[in-house]
Chain A
C-alpha cells in the first residue's frame, strides 16, 4: 500500500460522494423541494464528517481497525471490524447490482447480467490487486473526464433552456417537516455519511495535515454537485422526475443539438458507470484492507475471497424492484448504525481511551506531520 497525495484524496472524496447519486432522484418524497432535502441531508452529513475527521485526528496514523483496537479492545475490534468488512462488501454488492441493472436498462437489454456484473467485478478485482495507489490515480484521471462531461451536458441542458424554475415552486408547500422527513435519515444515510470508508483510507495519506481540509472541501464540492444535479432534474422533469427509473438519463434525452448531437444518453450511462465503478471499488478495496488488517491473511487472497462473495451475493435479490426496495428502504436505516452510530461511539470512547496513549503518540504524529 502506497502513500496518497492530498489532491488525490480531495478528488476521491468528491467522486466517492457523487458516486451513483445521479442514478436516483434523492429525496423524491419531498417532490419539488427535493433539492432542499438534499441540502438538509448534506448539512447533517457535515456533522458526521466532523466525527470521522475528529476520530482520525485522535491517532492520525491509525486505520479503522487500529482505531477499533485502541477504543474497544482486541476482541471487540475483531467483531466490529468483521462487521465493517461485511458492511463494505455489502455496499459494494449493492453497487455491482446497480451496475447490472443500469446496463440492462439502458445499454444492453439482451446480454445476461452475470456477464456484465462479472466483467465489472473483474475490473474492480484488478484495481484492488493493483493497490490503493492505482485506484486513486485512476479516479484522478476519471475525474477529469467526468467533470468535463457533466459540465458539457449541464451547459447543453441550460442552453437549450430546458430547466424551468417554476417546477421548483412552490417552495416548502407543506412546511418544512415533510422535507426534513425526506432528508433524514434517507439522504443523510445515502450518500452523505458513507464517507465512513475514508477511516480506512486516511492512514495512507502522504500529508496527514491535509486530511481535514481535503475532506471538508471535497465533501462540500460533492454535495454542491448533488444539489445542483437534483435541482436541475426536478426543474426539467417536474413531477415526472419522481416516477422515472433513471431521471438524469431522461433529462439528457431531451437534448438535441443541430439534428446531429442527439441521444447523448450513452454518454450519461458511461458517466453513471464511472460513478458506480468508483463507489463499488472503494468499498471493495476498503473491505479487502480491513480484512487484511484484521487477520493478516494474504492481501491477494483476501481480495479474491471478498470479490467472490460480492459477486455471488449480488444475485440474491430477485429483481430490480426488490433491489431498490431494500436499497432505498431498510438498507438505509441499518447502514446508519455502521455509518453514524459506531463512529460516534468510537469518538466518545476515543476521548477517554486514546488520551492515555496520547502522550506517547503526539510527538510521533507531530514529527510525521512535519515530514509530510
Chain B
C-alpha cells in the first residue's frame, strides 16, 4: 500500500551513508560537531575543568536559544564541577550520567548522528576525552508562547484556553482534561530536516486499534524534508486528495479535542502549531461546535439546524438566484418578480456575470482582510462597504438584490464552525454558479447529485463520510442531527468499532418528572 520503506518510530532516515561512531578523542569530536553544524555562531562549547577531577578533559556543548541555560547551569555544570570521579573506575561516566546530572532525562550517545540530533533537539552534550560515549541531558527550552485564549474557535460559555505551539504543553493540556490511564500517546519524528514531533493520541478501549495502526503506518510512511503545520500531515494521511471536502477536522481547543477522544476519534498533535487534527470524521461532524455541549440542548439543537441551513445557503443561494432570475422567473410571485426586474433594468451584465463579479470581489475583500497589516484595517472596510457596495449599486453596475444575496451568502459562510468545511462550500459555490448560469435549476440539481454521489463514496479512515445517515446507524443518527439532552446521549458518535460504544448507561434522571 505504501511505497515508502518502513521507518522506525524514532529518528529520521539519515540522508546518506552509514552511521559513524564518535571518536575517543575529544578534539576530533569537537571538530566534527563544529563542522557538522557549519561552524554556527550559536553553537556553544564550554570546557569543564575542576580541581576535583584533575586531568579530566571534559566539555559541554549546546546550541543557544533552544536550551534553557539556567537548567544547564544548575543541573549540569554545577553538579559536574563539584563532583570527583572515584579513582580507578573506568565506567565513571555512567555514574556521572545517572547520579550527578540532575536534569529530567539523560541518555548515552555514541553515534555522530545521534549526537548532532541531540544538540538540535535542545539537549546539551557532555563529551569527555578518552570516552566514546557522550552524555545527552535534556535541557530543551527557549522562548514559548504561553497558553492563551483561542482565536478561531471561540465560545461564550466554556473553557477559554487553547493549544500552543509546544507539543509537550498541548499533551499536558489534554491529559489534564482526560485523566485516564487509557489515555495513549504515540510519538513520531517526521520530516528529514525539521524532525518535527508528531503525537498520536487515542483512548485505549474506545478507539478502534486497527484504525490506530493504520494511521500509525500512514504517518510513518511520510517522507518529506519538513512538517511545519498539521495540514502537512492531514494531506499526507487523509483517505482521498481529490475532493473539496475535508476528511479530518482540526481544533485549537483542548476541550474539543477531549470530546473527540471520548467519541472514539484520534487526535494528532504536531509540534509547532496549535491546531490538532482529529479523525475519523463524518460530514456532519463539521457542524458541531464546542459550545453545543455547554449550552442547553434546545438552543443547541436550534443552532445546529441553523448551521446546516446556513451551509446550504452559502453553497446554493447565489446559484439559485442566478437560475431563478435567468431561467425560471415564473417561480417567483409576480410583485417580487417585478421588483427584481426593475432593479436589474439598466444593469449591463447577465445575472451570472454580475454574481461572479460580486462573489469574486467579496473573496478579494476577505483575503485582504486576512492578509492586511492590522493598521490598514479601517481602509479595507471603507473600500469594501462604501465603494464596492453602495457605489457599485448607485453606478448601476450591480443590482441591490445581488448585493443582498452576496452579503447573506458571505455571512452564512462564517456560521460553519470548521473553516475547512466553510472553504469547501466556497469552492463548490462557484462551480454551482457556473452550472446555474448555463442550465438553471437543472444544472444545480446535477451538481448537487454529483456532490452527493461523491460524498457517499468518501471515507475517513474507513468510516463512511455520510454516516450515520448513509449508511444509517440507528444508535447515533439522531444525536448527530440534533443535540440530545446529555442523559440521552448514550452512544459514542464515531461508530468505527464495536469497542465500548456506550458513554453512559443512559436513562432519564430519576428525580425528573415524566
Contacts and interface: CB of A to CB of B under 8 A. Distances in A.
Interface of A: 5, 7-8, 103, 107-108, 111, 115-116, 119-120, 123, 126-127, 130-131, 133-135, 137-138, 140-142, 144, 259-260, 262-263, 266, 269-270, 273-274, 277
A7 B452 CA distance: 19
A141 B331 contact: no
Contacts of B452: 138, 141-142
A355 B54 CA distance: 98
Contact of B469 (A103, A140, A274): A140
A107 B328 contact: yes
A133 B466 CA distance: 12
A134 B457 contact: yes
B242 interface: no
B453 interface: yes
16 contacts: A107-B440, A116-B442, A120-B446, A131-B457, A134-B456, A137-B471, A138-B453, A140-B471, A141-B470, A142-B452, A144-B469, A259-B333, A260-B333, A263-B330, A266-B441, A270-B441
Question: What are the 5 closest A-B residue pairs judged by CB atoms, nearest first?
Answer: A137-B456, A137-B470, A134-B457, A140-B470, A130-B457
Nearest to B464: A137
Contacts of B331: 263, 266
A141 B327 contact: no
B440 A108 contact: yes
A138 B471 CA distance: 9
Interface in B458-497: 464, 466, 469-472
- Interface on chain A toward B: helix, strand, loop, or mixed SS? helix
Given A108-B442, A126-B450, 11 more contacts: A5-B471, A5-B472, A107-B442, A108-B439, A119-B442, A135-B453, A137-B470, A138-B449, A141-B466, A273-B442, A277-B449
Interface of B: 327-328, 330-331, 333, 439-442, 445-446, 449-450, 452-454, 456-457, 464, 466, 469-472
A279 to B, nearest CB: 14
A303 to B, nearest CB: 14
A263 B500 CA distance: 51
SS class, residues of chain B in contact with chain A: helix
A119 B446 CA distance: 7
Nearest to A281: B453
Contact of B333 (A123, A138, A262): A262
A305 B454 CA distance: 22
Contacts of B441: 107, 266, 269-270
B445 A270 contact: yes
A59 B184 CA distance: 48
A285 to B, nearest CB: 12
A259 B337 CA distance: 13
A107 B442 CA distance: 7
B470 A123 contact: no
A103 B445 CA distance: 12
A266 B439 contact: no
A261 to B, nearest CB: 9
A144 B456 CA distance: 14
